[in-house]
Structure 1
Amino acid sequence: MPFLLDSFSDVKKELKKKMKKKSSGLLPCLSENDKQCIHHIREQTRQLNQNNIARTQAYFQFYLKHPEIHWALLGHMVSRNVGWNMTDLKGELLTKLLPERDQIAFFSFLERGSWLIFQDVYPQFLVYDLSVRCSQEMFHLLPHLSTSTFMETLWRYFWHSGDSYTLAIATVINEQSYLEKRLIQNNHFKNTVTGTVSLKMYDFLRLNNILFPYCEEEKREKTSLVGATSRHFTSLHERILFGKKLYSLLFQREKILAGVMKWAHERPHTGSRKDYWPDLFNDVNESFPRSLYKRRVKNCVLRKGAERLYSPPLKYAWPNTPHEDAESGDWFEDWHVLDYIHKEVSLNGEILNNYCKTLETIELAVMAKEALLLREEE
């Protein structure tokens, strides 16, 4: 019989106990029905984990079914941004700045992170959905799906408390901790992405904006944006706090939540930035391939007579990628990570000026690179 987790202090006690009593690695036997459930959950997760488009849609569909699971919407919106970052690598500007080797390295990094998170979190969602349908908790299945003992404890707490906020922030903690060794500290990605000059350039060009497009009643003709810029991406601490800020932006302002939901309903995710700003981006390339780049954007508006920026749909930019199985092991070692749940964060959500400057900075970098290449040819 699982320990009843009715309060947050119960969660703390349970996690302290689990830290002292390390698992032997032996899991209890499952019934035939449980085995079938696990097989179905794994298969469903595998089918939906083919690419960024499928994952992003799966998060949204789950949120529509279970709006009490806030992280599903947060995951959907962040996943849209990952898709835009992926297609930027094959879009108008970055193809002129980054060599193909770096484009592939960055895509592989984004795709691996996106794949890892989905194959960890989506089985948890399916176990919750199963619990709701059975009217009894089924969280004993989670260890068999390689879920952290931290999340198993927090799902049990959520089942009894209905505390959507705590579950969402716990999921942020879990997913970023899960990525730490498997992606950020992974030797391959250290050599190709996180420890490279290209990543420093990525930071310099401010390419780490997270945008939440939303519909405002008074601005029907154009999508509004809120968001934030991620700093120190290689710091686990900073990534968790950043996730909390994004959560507060989405769920602590009713107007923004309603506007984001309206926008997400009306705009299926394609990976092209045309999804939110069709007057600035197009999924068809309007420019001549060999012409020198001239500035086209000022304050996020096209200059007179300028072509829109090319932003391809994901299905044309990158093929589906096969993945090796995720590395085993539970990241949970210290119950003090619970402190993040009640740590105060603040975020005003102002992103437009920063984002407009980002586009202009990248344009200038493209023009500087082309001028340098011309000089070398002379």
Structure 2
Amino acid sequence: MIDPPLQSLAKEIKQVIAREKDVSKATSLSSGERELVEHIWEQTNLRNGDNVERTRAYMEYYQKHTDIHWALLAHLVSRNAGWSMTDLRGELLPRLLTPQVQKDYFLFLERGNWLIFRDAYPQLLLYEESARQQTNLFHLLPHFQVSVFTQAIWNQFWKAGDRELLAVGLIINEQQHLEEQVMKDEIYQKSVLGTLPFTFQELLSLNQILFPCEGDVQPLRLVGENVSHFASLTERISLGKRLYALLFRDLSILESVLGWVSRQPHTGSRKDFWPHLFHDVKESVPGKPYQKRVEGCQLKPGAKRIYSPELQHAWKRVEQALPIERDWYRDRSVLSFLRIREMSAPSHMGEVYCRTLEKIELAVIARGKIFGT
């Protein structure tokens, strides 16, 4: 039997679909509403320049609206996307991946980061204006090409204030949006998702979402999750829900993560969280074969830190093509994704991440012996 909140949401979705059929987008707006829609698009485009700016925008929003849990989760996941982007220009991966593969991976990550922000940020700003005016303005969401499912989620949140349901609904929406606009795109299927390096990346567990926790222990404790089967929509949604539960169902983790993100601006360099291992200035001598540096989450005696550049020094801004306008929502089967299982024990990722680094180092050293680089 369907839960009462989900029953109510299913009814809300039907109502949204019925309204969309009856209302003409071209003639339904007052002058004030048109100005608001234009202003929100302007602000969205302004903040959607690169990963650093998007990540900052999410955090600034959460600091003003702590009831919108998704904004903090998006901030943290966006930090991780930035670290993945700069890894492609760092000390290790350029020794394993060709310049073209590096660029393909970056464009794949950047496209997803850009699309999610373009979809989500207007929703956040419209909620902000609704709260300011103390009136529901979500009838304007179709003017931002927002899914009928997500329109219903916001209407439900406005009525019931269920923060967890809203957060999980937004997780589902963004992953469905990513699926339609990126994962099914033939360009990314050929250049990234169907390639040997993508498989190689998953085998090495390079895809990890890390949440640094502020505390007295150095290096900073990391919690988070491994990303496996990234190409699977179901797995990505499940990952998002696990990350949400990790962050918001344990107050001590939430407070320690907030302590760190409030203190440390996002640059894209992994130096942001582990400066004992990473530096945004290249310390190694160019042209020398790579020697193993990491052992037990520490640098070996005399070893130089691993180069991890700031994002804005690593990659130029990208001009993006507008997405195809289409609604991913098909039927109410998607409601089954809205449930969160009981939270398991926090995943302490520090040692896992260090083992990953050591695996990559060994791959780099092996390649160097074969190819003499």
Q: Which bin holds the TM-score, normalised by the shorter protein? A: over 0.9
Return 43-52 or 352-361, whichever deviates more. 352-361
Cα shift at 1:24: 7.3
Matched, 1:305 2:302: yes
CA distance in 2, matches of 1:126, 1:255: 29
In structure 2, what is the equivalent of residue 3 of structure 1?
none
CA distance in 2, matches of 1:138, 1:88: 41
Cα shift at 1:7: 4.5
Equivalent runs, 1:194-343 vs 2, <5 Å = 194-216=193-215, 218-219=216-217, 221-343=218-340
In structure 2, what is the equivalent of residue 11 of structure 1?
9
Q: CA deviation digits over 1:27-65, x for unaligned, max 9? A: 351000000000000000000000000000000000000
In structure 1, what is the equivalent of residue 370 of structure 2?
372
In structure 2, what is the equivalent of residue 30 of structure 1?
29
Residue identity over aligned pairs, in percent, reads 43
Matched, 1:167 2:166: yes
CA distance in 2, matches of 1:21, 1:224: 49
Give the residue type in structure 2 aligned to 1:35.
Answer: R
How many residue pairs get aligned? The number is 368
CA distance in 1, matches of 2:89, 2:76: 21
Cα shift at 1:13: 2.0
CA distance in 2, matches of 1:120, 1:345: 29
In structure 2, what is the equivalent of residue 39 of structure 1?
38
* Paired residues of 1:19 and 1:335 also in contact (CA < 8 A): no
In structure 2, what is the equivalent of residue 103 of structure 1?
102
CA distance in 2, matches of 1:350, 1:323: 36
Secondary structure in 1 matching 2:224: strand
Cα shift at 1:19: 6.5
Matched, 1:353 2:351: yes
Cα shift at 1:26: 3.8
Secondary structure in 1 matching 2:336: helix
CA distance in 2, matches of 1:159, 1:270: 35
TM-score of the aligned structures, taking structure 2 as reference length: 0.95
Q: Which runs of 5+ in 1 are unaligned?
A: 1-5
Going from structure 1 to structure 2, the CA distance change for 1:183 and 1:337 (only over 3 Å counts) comes to same
Cα shift at 1:323: 0.2
CA distance in 2, matches of 1:40, 1:19: 26
Going from structure 1 to structure 2, the CA distance change for 1:226 and 1:21 (only over 3 Å counts) comes to same
Computed over aligned residues only, the root mean square deviation of the Cα atoms, in angstroms, reads 1.7
Return 188-197 or 15-24, whichever deviates more. 15-24
Secondary structure in 1 matching 2:284: coil
Secondary structure in 2 matching 1:331: coil
* Paired residues of 1:19 and 1:334 also in contact (CA < 8 A): no
* Paired residues of 2:48 and 2:54 also in contact (CA < 8 A): yes
Q: Which runs of 5+ in 2 are unaligned?
A: none
Cα shift at 1:205: 1.5
Return 204-213 or 342-351, whichever deviates more. 342-351
Going from structure 1 to structure 2, the CA distance change for 1:321 and 1:65 (only over 3 Å counts) comes to same
Cα shift at 1:23: 3.8
CA distance in 1, matches of 2:15, 2:196: 44
Cα shift at 1:25: 8.4
TM-score of the aligned structures, taking structure 1 as reference length: 0.94
Q: CA deviation digits over 1:263-296, x for unaligned, max 9? A: 0011000000000011110000000110001100
Secondary structure in 1 matching 2:321: coil
CA distance in 2, matches of 1:23, 1:295: 62
